[in-house]
Amino acid sequence: MQKPLIVCSLQNRNPKGALQSLDCELLRLPAAEQILTTEFPRPPRLFVIHTLPPDHDATRAVILSLRSQWPLTDVLVWAPQAEGNTVRAYFQAGAHDVVLHRQESKLAEAVSATLENQKFLPRMHEQSRQRSKGSRFESMLSRSTEMWGLFELCTRVAPTDATVLIVGETGTGKELLARAVHRRSGREGRFVAANCASIPPDLINSELFGYEKGAFTGADRAKKGLVMHANKGTLFLDEIGDMPPEAQQCLLRMLQEKRIRPVGSQVESEIDVRIVAATNVQLDQAVRDGNFREDLFYRLDVIRVNVPPLRQRPEDVYLLFGHFTTRLAKHYGLEPPIFTDSFLDALLEYEWPGNVRQLENLSERLVLERSQSALTARDFDKLRNTNLVETPQTREHKNQAAWRNSVDPGRSLQENLDPVIEELEREYLQAKLKQHAGRVAETAAEAGISRRTLLRKMKQYGIDKQKFKL
């Protein structure tokens, strides 16, 4: 088997002590621009560019050209003196990674990690029907030209105030796209998400628009709604097709007048909120069935983003699977699994009804179960037929790793806190329900929350009180 070819431009550095220690073939060029005009003996596995401050603009131009000429070959930039804006520019141009350490040993580690993540590159070459522009957009990975068309659409509309409707099956990454639109919008407010399917119909107005003290039984204080929390920012309404009719009317009024009135209040407040909605159902059909307001549908359907399911973009299956298994193995401190060709063929033949989320769940289970032998197509069939039920062993691994590796500097503080808080809340409520043999009223009283709130959280976390009955 041939060693992977790495094409590098290292600004007169001697890579002998670093890159040449790797099991790869190095082709060294004196300048990054020469990479664009050199003929290679075979497709490179990786481009490595060393850049210094005066060359940042030229380096960005080289990255853009390489991503166009070699869309399936990663570009790694070694930029020890780069500032934050420059690093972001490199990633936006299509760089796979940017190494900021001065030591060449850190560069070698990054190269090794990148090569390890390319186990599926030959198969990705086979599956790519056309050249794509890159692999990463914000936190999303894709080699699909259709997906990159969506990414470009989101980039164009992000700075505007236009309402965006994201349509796609469950697990395709609709919220990730919504967050990308917000991050690129330049809006100074927060991104606030509301799942219309998980909020009880009788509470959705108060959750969205807030309420005044005494507006209803239990309203012992005034509360700001999610819309006001998202003021100057973006409100993401997930599963908008499940919004009850009364809330649809209030949302339509808000979109028309840019004003809201909390439940129980006579005072209206002006708001500046960008709405991004998502649904896994066809809203136009819901309109015809009388389940969704036609006037609200047209207000929401200004910019439509149709996310294709994973089964329609096979070039992404290997890319995402390789990414998930490598990242999760590192996350849990375990060795990544080994696969046979029959296993990889089965990955591609499967329909993936749960889309990217299902693929990530399967990858996590593979890593945590740590098979000692190479996995085959038969192993894949067993895995997908068990519905990926979580075992006590995998839950223990996940709990330990959540505390060890939960911090992601690339996300906001709230985005880092949310999954940890949710896990604590889920475990706490389950422990309390077990303590009280599944009795909801007693559990809610001791937890210091209302019975209605407990029932809503049990629904949100999929907790069945019958499991705790004696």
Do residues 12 and 25 make contact, with C-beta atoms less than 8 angstroms apart? no
Q: What is the mean pLDDT of residues 328-352?
A: 86
Q: What is the mean pLDDT of residues 449-458?
A: 85
Query: Distances from the Cα of 1 to the Cαs of 4, 5, 24, 90, 256, in angstroms?
Result: 9, 12, 11, 33, 64
pLDDT at res. 450 = 85
pLDDT, greater one: 127 or 423? 423
Query: Distances from the Cα of 76 to the Cαs of 39, 47, 293, 467, in angstroms?
Result: 19, 6, 50, 51
Query: Distances from the Cα of 449 to the Cαs of 211, 229, 457, 465, in angstroms?
Result: 18, 22, 11, 16
pLDDT classification of 109: cutoffs 50, 70, 90: confident
For the stretch 209-232, pLDDT in tens is 888 887 777 777 888 889 999 999
pLDDT at res. 204 = 83
pLDDT classification of 120: cutoffs 50, 70, 90: low
pLDDT at res. 1 = 56
Query: Distances from the Cα of 10 to the Cαs of 18, 311, 396, 435, in angstroms?
Result: 12, 41, 44, 63
In whole angstroms, give the CA distance from residue 454 to residue 36: 61
Q: What is the DSSP string of 418-436?
A: HHHHHHHHHHHHHHHHHHT
pLDDT at res. 401 = 47
pLDDT at res. 331 = 85
Whether 132 has a pLDDT exceeding 60, the answer reads: no
For the stretch 137-150, pLDDT in tens is 888 888 888 898 89
Q: What is the mean pLDDT of residues 417-440?
A: 81
For the stretch 294-310, pLDDT in tens is 999 999 999 999 999 99
pLDDT at res. 130 = 44
Do residues 143 and 315 make contact, with C-beta atoms less than 8 angstroms apart? yes
pLDDT classification of 410: cutoffs 50, 70, 90: low
- Which tokens sit at 177? 């796209």
Mean pLDDT score across all residues of the chain: 82
pLDDT at res. 119 = 60
Do residues 79 and 90 make contact, with C-beta atoms less than 8 angstroms apart? yes
pLDDT at res. 446 = 85
In whole angstroms, give the CA distance from residue 130 to residue 315: 10
- Which tokens sit at 5? 């070819």
Sign, Cα dihedral of 28, 30, 33, 39: negative
Whether 281 has a pLDDT exceeding 70, the answer reads: yes
Do residues 19 and 8 make contact, with C-beta atoms less than 8 angstroms apart? yes
- Which tokens sit at 245? 């009719």
